[in-house]
Amino acid sequence: MSDVSLPSAPVDYFPGFMPQADADAASAVLSSELDWVRKDKVPRGEYHLNDHGLSYTYGGRFTNTYESQVWHPALLDVRGRLLELLGTD
């Protein structure tokens, strides 16, 4: 584990936590199969999900509300790997 410090967001980086072939496959599946949302002038696709089915609203220059989506099997796989790595559930 490497500790990367950002001024307002501490990040732990785990190089190689997922084999490259698995990461590439997950990226391809998630890019093509998730219902990515682009709202207003947000320059990226976004996908909101959580375990409680709650919507999410944030704002700044633009205020956006996202309805919670379902966990895709590929996301559940990545999540499971992270939880195992971190020793939590």
The model's pLDDT over 36-64, given as tens digits with 9 standing for 90+, comes to 988 777 788 889 999 998 998 887 777 78
Please give the Cα distance from 21 to 44 (Å, whole number): 25
The Cα angle at residue 75 between residues 71 and 80, in degrees rounded to 5: 105
Range of the domain at 45: 2-86
- pLDDT tens across 13-28, in order? 888 889 999 999 999 9
- Backbone torsion region of residue 74, taken as left when φ is above 0, otherwise alpha when ψ lies between -120 and 50, otherwise beta: alpha
Tens digits of residue pLDDT in 57-71: 887 777 788 889 989
Residue 2: per-residue pLDDT: 55
Q: How many domains does the chain have?
A: 1
9, pLDDT greater than 80:
no
User: Which pLDDT score is estimated for 14?
Assistant: 86
